[in-house]
Every structure is written in structure tokens, then in C-alpha cells.
């Protein structure tokens, strides 16, 4: 059994002690690298092509183990090249702080032109950073885009929000450029409470205001989506797992409290990761939540093998008691079948892949067995539909799909994270898929070119850690670790 097989089979926390004995303590993170979401590509240097973001939260920096890094691959008409890249760490000139062991810089990332200067900015979480607030309090840095790329950065400090006790601040991130400078927003997940920053943002670190969500909305995953079509995004917060349920509570606008002073949560469903997009093309964003864990009581909560839940937006938004549509691998039209431990819904993004005006669901199942290869991983695309239930026309990719480089191996975890973005300006967005367990957990990221009907395996490419200049022998986690630390 290879090391990466063991990590995925037993979970990071369960395997860490045994692996330390096998490999030596220096080979392992002291804590799992949180990376719920990864940034979509953004044009950081203003050349008209969006640039891909490949986080590497387990990367060693100047001898500091697991300090973390972010690799930017610059977009071009010919697509991405490993030679056109930038490596950014907390030791990079212009970036606040200093690389320290275990920081996990790059564990979560988000992209938006926050200061509306025409250059995309990159928001980076380091949720294991120790600060004056305490051990593993966490930090969040904004790297500002410019003609020269991401050359300067400032912090979004947890200290800006009174009354919050940060812990793993920066565990997840969401960001959007608003219709005006004041309406740009950044959401930061923290186990001490989710934090919302609003504009105007400035390159010197200024912002308009900050607010902490209600105490019970401890942040594990965050997202932004305009569910009621009023032009302003609602704020989604998914808490860490709750006892007796497969996932955490799901809150919409947790800053708004009910009659007893608690935020109103969606009562039918839970999960670990959220994404938003207009799945049925009615002009309202829909909320999509991945709930990959096995149910504690069959038939009462969750679904064996994992599930994805979809709440529809409307002029009235999403009611707290709304019943979501459920998608599993047993749903009609969805490839494969639900099997215990697949963690379908373990990675998630929502984007219009075929330009039909409908957002599609991209769902990772990083512990899906492929043939006899346990936990090799699979990614499923569920197309959006104007009417009817979702599932028809779904398709899937694995490393064994014809045209995909490499091959499925036990423990690879293909589908650990997923992202979508057009990097060659052909109006056909590329699909990005990571596999954190690949090559002794150094990780890898595949790019699937966009086509008229969606991403295609033909001419797909893979970027490994060594190919982008990260030569350590294990635990780089190129592409991030996704939900691997909680599922």
C-alpha cells in the first residue's frame, strides 16, 4: 500500500500518527491543509488572458515545512505553460508576513477585481498561521493585480472585527467585484465565526466595513450568490460538521437573525461545501451544497456514497424551510452508482461549461473506485436544465478516460478540488481537476480544454509539482487538499 492510499483510506487525522512512524515526522503536515475552495482563473496582469491558480499548501519554503505556496500559470492564446509561471509565498517580496512552518499559505483562494482597477486580485488564506490572536488563528492576504502581475499584498485582519475569537481564519474564501466600489465583498470562513468585508478596497489595505456573522455560524465553507435577483449577493455559510448529521448547518445571510437572536438556517439539508450559479436560467442564482459524508442513520440524513443538494433561487430568495433537489450517483442519468465511501460531493463548483446560458454542476468524488483502483477518484458534470430534474446528459472523467494523461491509481483522489475558467480567451472555459494523493501526495492538476459541448479529454494536460518547480518528495498537495481533512 502506498502512502497516499493510506491517507485517503483512513483520513488525514487518522493516518497521521501511523504515517509519522513510516516516513518520519518531517514528511508530514502537523495539521491537515484546509482548502475547501480554489480560485477561478483571473487576469492578474491585465493582458486579456485569465491566469490559473494552483495552490500548494503543503509546500516547504526556505526549510519551513508546510509553509505553503501558490503557483500562478499565465494564460495565453495557446493555453497554459509550466514555463510561464510565478511562485508566490509569504517570503515573496511585497507579500506580508514571513513563511513559517505549518502556516498552510494557499490553503484557500478566491479571485475578484476588488478595487475595480481592471486587474484581478487574489485572496489567499493561511488558516494555520499563528498570530497575536493565538496558535493557528489564521490569516488572509490580498495579492493585488497589476501590469506586472501579483507583486504586492496586504492583510485582511481578523482583528478588524470586534468580538470574534479567530481560529482557522481563512479556512475558506469567497470574493466578488461589486457593481460599485462599495459593493465589492470578501467572505472569510473561520471556526470562530464567518467574517464579511465590504469595499471600497484599496491597494494599501483599506476597506469599507467588516462584520461578523452570528455566533452559531462557525465557518467551514462560504459562498456568494444573488438568490433573489436584487443585484446584491446573499452570503452563504456552511458550518463545520454537527453531531448526528452528515455535515454542517447551511445558513443564508447569517448576519440576519431570527426572533430569538439566532441566524435562520436551511432546515432541510446540510453539507460541507457550497457553490452558487443559475442552474435553470431563470435569472436567479441557485444554491448548491455538497454533502459527501456517510449518514449516521440510513434514510434519515444524507445519502450513502454522498449527495449534492440544490436549492432554487426566486424573487423571494430561498426560504429557510425550502426542500432541495437531491442528486446522487443513483439519480437517473448520472454515471456510475452510489457506493459507500465514494464521497460524491466532496468537491464542487458551478459554471456554464457549454455556454447555453445554464450553469452546470461539477462534482468531485475523490474516493470513487475506478475498476480495481480504490479511491482513485472521479469527476461528474451534471448539466443545468431549464425544466425538470437534474441528471440527464451527465458525464464523467477519470484518469482512465481516453485522452487523459496518466492513469488511475489507488489513493490518487482525482477530483479533490475542481475549478472552471477560460484561460485562452476562446469563450470555452477550461475545467481544472486536482488529485491531492497523486505521486506520494505531491499532487497534480489536470486541465480539460473547453469545447462547444463542454470540456473534453482530448488534448487535456497535467501539471505535476515538479513541472511547476516544486521538487519536494511528498505532501506538496498541488491543487489543494479540498475536504480531505474532514471526510
Q: Is 27 part of any domain?
A: no
Q: Is 26 part of any domain?
A: no
Q: What is the CATH number of the domain that holds 82?
A: 2.130.10.130
Q: Is 478 part of any domain?
A: no
Look up the domain containing 226 and give its range. 41-468
pLDDT digits (tens, 9 = 90+) for 103-124: 999 999 999 999 999 999 999 9
Q: How far is CA 276 from the centre of its chain?
A: 12
pLDDT digits (tens, 9 = 90+) for 428-479: 999 999 999 999 999 999 999 999 999 999 999 999 999 999 999 999 999 9
pLDDT digits (tens, 9 = 90+) for 402-429: 999 999 999 999 999 999 999 999 999 9
The overall average pLDDT reported for the chain is: 88
Q: Is 230 part of any domain?
A: yes
- Give the number of domains in the chain: 1
Output the CA–CA distances (angstroms, integers) from residue 175 to 111, 313, 320, 450, 476, in the order listed.
6, 20, 24, 24, 25
Q: Is 419 part of any domain?
A: yes
- Tell me, what's the pLDDT at 30? 30
b/e sequence 289-307, b meaning 16+ C-beta within 10 Å: bbbbbbbeeeeebbbbbbb
Q: Is 20 part of any domain?
A: no
List the single range of 17-21, 215-219, 246-250, 353-357 with lowest mean pLDDT.
17-21
Q: Is 143 part of any domain?
A: yes
DSSP per-residue string spanning 317-359: ---TTPPPEEE-TTSTT-SS---TT--TTSEEEEE-SSSSSS-
Rg (CA), the chain: 20
Q: Is 476 part of any domain?
A: no
Amino acid at each position: 500500500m502506498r502512502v497516499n492510499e493510506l491517507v485517503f483510506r483512513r483520513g488525514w487525522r487518522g493516518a497521521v500518527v501511523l504515517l509519522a512512524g513510516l516516513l518520519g515526522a518531517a514528511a508530514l503536515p502537523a495539521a491537515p491543509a484546509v482548502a475547501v475552495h480554489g480560485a477561478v482563473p483571473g487576469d492578474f496582469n491585465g493582458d486579456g488572458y485569465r491566469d490559473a491558480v494552483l495552490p500548494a499548501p503543503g509546500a516547504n519554503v526556505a526549510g519551513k515545512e508546510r509553509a505553503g505556496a501558490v503557483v500562478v500559470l499565465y494564460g495565453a492564446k495557446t493555453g497554459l505553460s509550466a514555463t510561464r509561471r510565478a511562485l508566490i509565498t509569504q517570503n515573496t517580496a511585497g507579500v506580508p508576513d514571513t513563511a513559517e512552518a505549518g502556516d498552510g499559505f494557499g490553503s484557500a483562494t478566491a479571485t475578484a477585481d476588488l478595487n475595480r482597477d481592471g486587474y484581478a486580485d487574489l485572496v489567499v488564506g493561511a488558516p494555520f498561521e499563528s498570530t497575536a490572536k493565538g496558535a493557528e488563528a489564521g490569516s488572509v492576504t490580498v495579492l493585488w493585480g497589476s501590469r506586472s502581475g501579483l507583486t504586492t499584498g496586504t492583510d485582511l485582519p481578523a482583528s478588524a472585527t470586534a468580538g470574534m475569537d479567530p481560529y482557522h481564519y481563512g479556512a475558506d474564501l469567497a470574493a466578488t467585484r461589486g457593481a460599485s466600489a462599495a459593493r465589492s465583498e470578501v467572505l472569510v470562513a473561520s471556526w470562530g465565526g464567518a467574517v464579511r468585508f465590504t469595499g471600497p478596497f484599496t491597494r494599501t489595505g483599506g476597506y469599507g466595513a467588516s462584520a461578523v456573522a452570528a455566533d452559531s455560524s462557525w465557518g467551514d465553507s462560504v459562498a456568494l450568490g444573488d438568490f433573489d435577483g436584487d443585484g446584491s449577493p446573499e452570503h452563504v455559510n456552511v458550518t463545520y460538521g454537527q453531531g448526528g448529521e452528515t455535515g454542517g448547518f447551511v445558513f443564508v445571510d447569517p448576519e440576519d437573525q431570527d426572533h430569538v437572536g439566532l441566524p435562520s438556517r436551511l432546515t432541510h439539508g446540510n453539507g460541507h461545501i457550497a457553490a452558487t450559479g443559475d442552474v435553470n436560467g431563470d435569472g436567479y442564482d441557485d444554491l448548491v451544497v455538497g454533502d459527501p459524508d456517510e449518514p449516521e442513520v440510513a434514510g434519515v440524513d444524507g445519502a450513502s456514497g454522498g449527495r449534492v443538494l440544490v436549492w432554487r433561487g426566486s424573487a423571494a430568495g430561498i426560504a429557510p424551510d425550502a426542500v432541495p433537489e437531491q442528486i446522487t450517483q443513483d439519480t437517473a442519468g448520472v454515471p456510475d452508482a452510489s457506493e459507500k465511501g465514494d464521497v460524491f460531493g466532496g468537491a464542487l463548483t458551478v459554471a456554464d461549461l457549454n455556454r447555453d446560458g445554464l450553469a452546470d454542476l461539477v462534482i468531485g468524488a475523490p474516493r470513487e473506485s475506478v475498476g480495481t483502483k480504490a479511491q482513485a477518484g472521479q469527476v461528474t458534470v451534471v448539466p443545468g436544465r431549464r425544466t425538470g430534474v437534474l441528471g440527464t446528459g451527465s458525464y464523467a472523467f477519470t484518469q482512465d478516460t481516453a485522452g487523459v494523461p496518466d492513469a488511475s491509481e489507488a489513493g490518487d483522489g482525482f477530483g479533490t478540488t475542481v475549478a472552471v475558467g477560460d484561460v485562452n480567451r476562446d469563450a470555452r472555459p477550461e475545467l481544472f481537476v486536482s488529485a491531492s494523493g497523486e505521486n506520494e501526495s505531491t499532487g497534480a492538476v489536470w486541465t480539460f480544454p473547453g469545447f462547444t459541448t463542454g470540456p473534453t479529454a482530448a488534448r487535456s494536460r497535467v501539471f505535476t509539482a515538479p513541472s511547476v518547480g516544486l521538487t519536494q518528495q511528498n505532501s506538496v498537495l498541488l491543487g489543494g487538499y479540498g475536504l480531505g481533512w474532514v471526510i
